[in-house]
Chains A and B, each alone.
Chain A
Amino acid sequence: MMLRLIVPAIAVVLFYLEPVFGLFSPLDIGGEYRYLIPRFLIMYLIFISIYYNRNRAMAYGLLFGVLYDVFFLDIIGLYSFLYPLICLIASFIVKYIHQHLIITTVISLVLVTGLEFVLYQFFLFIGLTDISLQVFISERLIPTMLANSIFLVVLGWAFKYVINARLLQRLNQPN
């Protein structure tokens, strides 16, 4: 019973932790700003999508995407579209390759990079930013990806462990 709740509970905790880490960003390093954008939740959802259940991951993606849009962005439909889409892409990719932890980690990071690019293009398109691609890569993308890969390397195995435990429990009691 506990295990049943723990998968969504981790997602909720990660959702709330993201803006807490966001409070420390941008980092002011020697007069240059570096934006570390936490993408914990979507990486966790990618893990769920790969190891557990694609539809479940997409449903969580939609739910948290809507919350994210309403609470932070006031642009409804951006994250609530991108989160499920990324879960879908992750599950397609994993059909053709082995589900090893390292490969999953790499796929998650590649997809998060993709997400950052799509968001950059979107905000460039609606005119909320005018930074050049070069500045985007050095100020945002590289610090973000460094921070997120550290997070995933540290906690990726834990995600896999929890999800596998839940999966085993589910297989043992089919109902």
Chain B
Amino acid sequence: MPQFFSNKRLILLLVGVIFLVALISFSLRDRDNVSLPEQIIKDVVGFGQSIFSKPTHYITGVFDNVDSLLNTYEENKRLKGRLEEFAKLQADVHDLSSENTRLREIVGKEDDLRNYEPIQATVIARNPDQWEKKLILDKGQVHGIEKNMAIITAQGLIGKVILTTPFTSTIELLSSQNPNYRVSAMVMGEKEIFGLIEGYDDERKELILKRIDSNIEIEVGQKIETSGLGGVFPKGLLIGEITEVSTDDFGLTKMAYIKPAADFTLLDHVMITKRAMTTVGGSEEDSTATDDAQGDEDGS
């Protein structure tokens, strides 16, 4: 039997392993920005990737269209039933929004946490190994994308930007297991009740809303939206609906399971929300950073 490893090879292998462990631990740290070589690789690979994925989106789009054509009759019947309801709703919304503008003018407050500028983007790749729930979009810094911006689809919030390069951006989905991934949310009801989306239950396929005051009553079926208080996300992006309420591990606060409004599978076109009002601190997940920023403002 030949010797697999001569001494030279063994040393080379060991040095390689040490180097790799060092690299892995370096890249696992929370990094604020990507290094230049990484940016170049991401942009170049991203360019090639979009050449491959755009035709794919076109083809799946054709299939989707055929699929929806087949359902047209059913759907039309159902929609007609809802049309009347819709007209009334539209009148209500129009009434309320004009009243809102008028009241705003009286108070003299123009900015609103709800206002945002949507930027259309196409998903060019989804991390094929799916351990980390990441997507790559075809818009980057030159299009005005910044870290921590919220990503939505027509149905609701799906995630946020975690890395940007000049021409691509990486987003992490809400279904991520990353313990540092938090979104400041509120329960819609008579009063606004605040909590934090922390974690995702892989088996139930539901998000977990934590840190709700135990004196406050919340019910199954209530809607959850972003609160806009984290500093970067706009207010009022739909996240989901409560399916179960329980107390947390220590019995001090309540937690709720939330069924996400948006579907995390088969994502192709998404919107990046650029908040109109100034962003604070720059970190949705790290409340200390925003505190520091506010502290600075107070001091100056």
* A interface, CB within 8 angstroms of B: 12, 16-28, 33, 35, 37-38, 66-67, 69-78, 80-81, 92, 119, 123, 126-131, 135, 140
Q: Which of B20, B26, B127, B205 contacts A72 (CB 8 A)?
A: B127
> Could you tell me if A72 and B134 are in contact, using CB atoms closer than 8 angstroms?
yes
* With known contacts A20-B52, A127-B179, A38–B24 Cβ distance under 8 A: no
> Could you tell me if B20 and A77 are in contact, using CB atoms closer than 8 angstroms?
yes
- Asked if B58 lies at the interface with its beta carbon under 8 angstroms from chain A, I say no
Residue of A nearest to B38 (CB): A70
Q: Which of A37, A80, A81 contacts B130 (CB 8 A)?
A: A37
B-side contacts of A74, CB under 8 Å? 27, 31, 34, 38, 163, 170
Between A and B, 14 residue pairs with Cβ closer than 8 Å are A19-B128, A20-B125, A21-B128, A25-B126, A25-B130, A27-B265, A33-B265, A66-B41, A70-B38, A72-B128, A72-B129, A74-B163, A128-B132, A128-B178
> Could you tell me if B202 and A130 are in contact, using CB atoms closer than 8 angstroms?
yes
- For the complex of A and B, the 3 pairs showing the least CB-CB separation, nearest first, are A22-B128, A19-B125, A77-B23
* With known contacts A19-B53, A71-B41, A81–B128 Cβ distance under 8 A: no
Question: Most chain-B CB neighbours within 10 Å: which of A19, A25, A67, A76?
Answer: A19
Would you call the interface of chain B mostly helix, strand, loop, or mixed?
mixed
Residue of B nearest to A19 (CB): B125
> In the bound complex, how far is the Cα of B218 from the Cα of A40, in angstroms?
48
Q: How many A-B residue pairs have CB under 8 A?
A: 121
> Could you tell me if B27 and A92 are in contact, using CB atoms closer than 8 angstroms?
no
Q: Which of A12, A76, A119 contacts B27 (CB 8 A)?
A: A76
> Could you tell me if A76 and B53 are in contact, using CB atoms closer than 8 angstroms?
no
> In the bound complex, how far is the Cα of B31 from the Cα of A74, in angstroms?
10
> Could you tell me if B56 and A126 are in contact, using CB atoms closer than 8 angstroms?
no
Residue of B nearest to A66 (CB): B41
> In the bound complex, how far is the Cα of B100 from the Cα of A6, in angstroms?
64
* B interface, CB within 8 angstroms of A: 4, 16-17, 19-21, 23-24, 26-28, 31, 34, 37-38, 41-42, 45-46, 48-49, 51-53, 56, 123-132, 134, 136, 163, 170, 177-179, 202-203, 205, 265-268
B-side contacts of A33, CB under 8 Å? 205, 265
Q: Which of B28, B131, B205 contacts A119 (CB 8 A)?
A: B131
B-side contacts of A135, CB under 8 Å? 202-203
What's the minimum C-beta distance from B135 to chain A, rounded to whole angstroms? 9
> In the bound complex, how far is the Cα of B41 from the Cα of A70, in angstroms?
7
> Could you tell me if A23 and B125 are in contact, using CB atoms closer than 8 angstroms?
yes
A-side contacts of B4, CB under 8 Å? 92
> Could you tell me if A123 and B131 are in contact, using CB atoms closer than 8 angstroms?
yes
A-side contacts of B265, CB under 8 Å? 25-28, 33
Q: Which of A19, A28, A76, A81 contacts B126 (CB 8 A)?
A: A19
> In the bound complex, how far is the Cα of B24 from the Cα of A70, in angstroms?
11
What's the minimum C-beta distance from A89 to chain B, rounded to whole angstroms? 11
* With known contacts A70-B38, A131-B202, A18–B128 Cβ distance under 8 A: yes
* With known contacts A71-B41, A129-B177, A131-B202, A16–B131 Cβ distance under 8 A: no
> In the bound complex, how far is the Cα of B129 from the Cα of A131, in angstroms?
15
> Could you tell me if A72 and B28 are in contact, using CB atoms closer than 8 angstroms?
no
Residue of B nearest to A31 (CB): B205
